C-alpha cells in the first residue's frame, strides 16, 4: 500500500506487504524490503537499501548510501547523515554539486534500533540488535547488542534481542531475562553463546 500523497520515483522497488504512508518520499533506486512500514513524511534518498520487516517512523531522514538490515527500527525524526564535512560551497565560493563530495554510508545491521530524534553521523556502523537511545548523536561504530546514549553517544549497557537491558551475571557473563539468551563479554564486545 502506497498512500496517494507519497512520492515514489521511478526505479523504486517495494517488497510485498510493505506500506508507505502519506507525504513520504522514496527517491529513484530505493530498495524497500518485504513487510516494511514507512511512516508519514519520511525521506529515503536515492540508492538506500532497506531490508525486510523494517519500521521507519514519521519524519525520519535516511540519506544515501545507507543500508539497513532486516528488522531494523528507525524512530521518529531520526536522521542518518551522509557527509562528515558538510559545506554548501567550495573554497572558491562556487556552489558544491553532487560531484564535489564523497558520500559516506551508514550501515544498520539486523535487528538494531535507532531511537527518536537520534542522529547517526556518516560512515558509522550500528551492530546487530544494538539500541541507540532517543536523542543520541552517534559518531563512531556501535557494537552488536550495545546500548548507547548521549552526545556524543557512549555505551551505557547491553541489550538483548527484545531491546531490554541484559542482566549482569558477573565474570563478564550476561543473560536476557526475556529470552534466556546467554552472552559473554570480551574486549568490550558481546558474543551470544549458543
The reported pLDDT for the residue numbered 180 is: 94
pLDDT tens column, 103-149: 899 999 999 999 999 999 999 999 999 999 999 999 999 999 999 99
Which residues, in sequence order, are CB contacts of 179 under 8 Å at separation 6+? 160, 161, 162
The reported pLDDT for the residue numbered 116 is: 98
Which residues, in sequence order, are CB contacts of 2 under 8 Å at separation 6+? 8, 14, 19, 20
pLDDT tens column, 16-73: 999 999 999 999 999 999 999 999 999 999 999 999 999 999 999 999 999 999 999 9
CA distance 136 to 120: 8
Q: Which CATH superfamily is domain 7-159 in?
A: Hexapeptide repeat proteins (2.160.10.10)
| Long-range contacts (CB closer than 8 Å, 24 or more residues apart) made by 164-167 | 166/190
The helix, strand and coil proportions of the chain, stated in percent and rounded to the nearest 5, come to 0, 35, 60
Total count of residues recorded for the chain: 194
pLDDT tens column, 70-99: 999 999 999 999 998 889 999 999 998 878
Task: Write out the three cell numbers for 71.
Answer: 528488522
Domain definitions of the chain by residue range = 7-159, 161-194
Global pTM reads: 0.94
Amino acid at each position: 500500500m502506497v498512500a496517494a500523497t507519497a512520492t515514489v520515483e521511478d526505479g523504486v522497488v517495494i517488497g510485498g506487504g510493505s506500506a508507505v504512508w502519506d507525504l513520504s518520499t522514496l527517491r529513484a533506486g530505493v530498495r524497500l524490503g518485504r513487510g516494511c512500514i514507512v511512516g508519514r513524511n519520511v525521506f529515503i534518498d536515492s540508492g538506500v537499501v532497506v531490508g525486510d520487516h523494517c519500521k521507519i517512523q514519521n519524519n525520519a531522514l535516511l540519506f544515501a548510501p545507507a543500508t539497513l538490515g532486516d528488522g531494523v527500527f528507525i524512530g521518529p525524526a531520526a536522521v542518518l547523515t551522509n557527509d562528515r564535512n558538510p559545506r554548501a560551497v567550495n573554497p572558491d565560493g562556487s556552489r558544491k554539486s553532487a560531484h564535489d563530495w564523497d558520500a559516506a554510508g551508514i550501515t544498520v545491521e539486523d535487528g538494531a534500533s535507532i531511537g527518536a530524534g537520534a542522529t547517526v553521523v556518516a560512515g558509522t556502523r550500528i551492530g546487530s540488535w544494538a539500541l541507540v537511545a532517543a536523542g543520541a548523536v552517534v559518531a563512531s561504530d556501535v557494537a552488536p547488542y550495545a546500548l548507547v546514549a548521549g552526545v556524543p553517544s557512549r555505551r551505557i549497557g547491553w541489550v538483548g534481542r527484545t531491546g531490554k537491558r541484559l542482566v549482569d551475571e558477573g565474570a563478564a557473563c550476561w543473560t536476557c531475562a526475556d529470552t534466556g539468551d546467554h552472552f559473554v563479554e570480551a574486549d568490550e564486545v558481546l558474543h551470544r553463546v549458543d
